[in-house]
Amino acid sequence: MTETGTDTLLDQRTDLRTEHGDHERFSHYADRDKITEAMVTGTPVVALCGKVWVPSRDPSKFPVCPECKRLYELGPDGRMREWAEKSRQESGSG
């Protein structure tokens, strides 16, 4: 485990509104500390793929989110590049 800028990038305002959508059926990747905290407090976390979701106590029940898996396998450097691209493309829709 190495310290990277992951935490900083994920440290954005967590929107408390969660919709019941596809992301609820997936197990996402996020900062381990945040997942642990979320399971205690019941507050949603922001996953690697950008989804806001409440981690399940039993993530093995759900398939891993393909986007999270892809980003996870990119490693910290690859993720930073992806997120930089994403924030550039963001035009306020959604």
List of residues contacting Zn ion (CB under 5 A): 28, 47, 49, 51, 65, 67-68
Nearest residue to Zn ion, scored by beta-carbon proximity: 65
Q: Work out how close the CB of 81 gets to Zn ion at its nearest, in angstroms, rounded to a whole number.
A: 18
Of the candidates 48, 6, 56, the residue with the CA atom closest to the CA atom of residue 29: 48
Q: Work out how close the CB of 66 gets to Zn ion at its nearest, in angstroms, rounded to a whole number.
A: 8
Cβ-contact 24, 61 below 8 angstroms: no
Q: Work out how close the CB of 2 gets to Zn ion at its nearest, in angstroms, rounded to a whole number.
A: 22
